[in-house]
Structure 1
Amino acid sequence: MIDALEQAEAAVVACFDTPVWAAGERDLVAALDAAHRLEQRLAAVKLALVRELDGRGTATAQGASSTAVWLRDRLRLPVGAARRLVELAATLDTAPPAVRDALAGGAVDVAQVRVIADTVQTVHTAAGTQAADKAVGVLVNWAAQFDATQLRRLGTRILDHVAPEVADAATEAALRAQESRTTRDRHITISEQTDGRLRLTGILDTETAAALRAAIDPLTTPTGPDDARTPGQRRHDALADVCRLALRTSDLPENGGDPAQLVVTTSFDGLTRQLSAGALDTGLQLTPEAVRRLACDAAILPAILNGAGQPLDVGRQRRLITGPLRRALVLRDRGCAFPGCDRPPRWCDAHHIRHWADGGTTSLDNAVLLCGHHHRHIHRSDWAVQLGRDGHPEFTPPAWLDPDQLPRRNHYHRRR
């Protein structure tokens, strides 16, 4: 397989180096069709490989929390795209043979495969195996004319074509299946931009969409004739207002031992005289004006730091890493410190590098922030963790994974 893929890669490189300006229009269209078919066939191979690696547990054996996270690091994919790749691989694994053959032959694309698999499952439930087999042929033929969105819309009436005697009774079942898909596909993706802003994308289920609209719609009304905000800016500000309202309540769950809060670090002189910027516990900087504004509605928590700016430890007076010490740990590690992990601080535990029972102190230089998965992984695997010369955590992999056992660090969390 590797030899065949390398030959295919060389052929594609040769095509890329061929000047297309010299080709006639008919040849260009034919080449485009061929390239698309090849892309779909390569997608089928890629999905088969992902499915096999996922089934073998390769990702967890190498320290990743899931196959999607492993794919993100291995292929440099956005984590959402990596998750969809794993999901599509599982879908293809259970799809009818005719659907897999159509994908391998370039007749359908991966998005259409998912639609066909979902629709055929609905038909099988409503009308049995014979109708489901007939539905596969109909849907594959439709896929040559319609994209995935149109194919799903047409699929809602597929029983009219393959089993009209049960079509009416199955309409309700189709609606239930649609509700199930809506529940399955719900997600929110938060992508951090280079300047500290966040990009929100996702799909809300019907109930959550209604709740969101009910919460923000009253707050999106222009405040007056001089309100120059765009509709998108008004929705942004409404969402911010809803978040602030939630943070003012006492109903939110605790966050790593502390109530839900926004932590800003600055100097007292800078705060009172508006001279210096502040830093969130995510590492992002705030202007002096923003720090002052947040301080109007915040508790001021003093902390004593040494000459190097490191918060002082609390020795062995207590075992749990909470309060100011946890906040110091968050400021240093930014999130799970295990290489390749992007879990934020609120999902992390504070791990003693030298266990408390073995005489380890509850201090900043004996602690590291780890998500639940990697906290368990460190305890039961041969990975070792220590602080480097600069005071930041580094992890040494076991010899079977890296014979040279070179220390690794997490590069996903921004550092000052």
Structure 2
Amino acid sequence: MPLALLALAIGAFGIGTTEFVIVGLLPEVAADFAVSVPTAGLLVTGYALGVLIGAPIMTVLGTKVSRKHMLMLLMGLFVIGNIVSATAPFFGLMLIGRVVAAFAHGAFFGIGAVVAAELVAPQKKAAAISMMFTGLTVANLIGVPLGTFVGQSAGWRVTFLIVAALGVVGLAGVVLLVPNIPKREGVHLRNELAVFGDAQVLLAMAMTVLGFGGVFAAITYLAPMMTHVTGYTDAAVSYLLVIFGLGMVLGNLIGGRYADRALMPMLFATLGSLAVVLALFTLTAQNKVAAAVTIFLIGALGFATVPPLQKRVLDQASGAPTLASAVNIGAFNLGNALAAWLGGLVIAAGLGYTSANGVGAILTISALFLALVSAALDKRRGQRRGTDRAGSVD
């Protein structure tokens, strides 16, 4: 694999750390700014919305810039956002810093996925994409727990300064290692927007929202589920998140490897298995060992869908993939927000913490249905092309 993928993975590690580390530091941030924890939670919501909105905006603004230079600008923006967050004298300015960093998130992963795919042979594209996303999964395994520990020990501002330093390392990696791939001739904003008229592109993005959202319907409420239902202590939740992170890393690598060989069968297998595991989580949550195994499987199966989903979008929008790729990163975050909201609704309705697992299973089954529809459309298009060729020969 090219060294440029290492630079992209380092950038992904920093972005993944800053996205999720805030969850473990909300009490400290809230106390420092004298706001409530729910108010401090706006730092999570604001970041998610920043990714969703920023991905298409930053990608459109970068249509006249080479992808390498755009990646450099995005990492610079990420560094600035985290420095603003780390040094903010009042809560509102920290929220602005979070949104600024989030604006870099979607476009970096979207453009980075396109660059990663172009650096390797066609049969290795999904593996290259998964290599970049490995930085995100390792961030959840190592960066977030360490960042939380540092923030609780030395102050949350130190954590964000360290993340900004990681951004500088990622920027240096892009400068030194990522080649300046020439932009494809004849691809303009009009072409980039036109791909959203393709049913297959929209189906792929809908699969991203529903399939990946299923994971976060359960994981968002993992802490109260494990402490109130399974019987784990509050301290043990951190170890369970590490188990989830291990599953993420393994699943991401497996998804990248096998999606290059058989993309749609890989999606059928992972989405179907994930739906079953989520449905069973209501039962396995009653036992500590079974719950830990289930959490690992949710991480593995959930992130095994990431490379094939991203590659599916790239394949279907092959004529102008950059904007579609970035918007699909926003779709992952939209799925997270939607699933967390729906899971919260059923819990608030008095159905219990495990009811969110059922929501996740339903979302994932819906994604599997869309995958089957997409495959049927592929088959129909193939048959139509075959008929057209036969007619032209005659």
Same fold (TM over 0.5): no
Which of structures 1 and 2 has the larger relative contact order (alpha carbons within 8 angstroms, sep 6+)? 2
Structure with greater strand percent: 1
Query: Per residue, is there more helix in 1 or in 2?
Result: 2
TM range, smaller chain: under 0.3
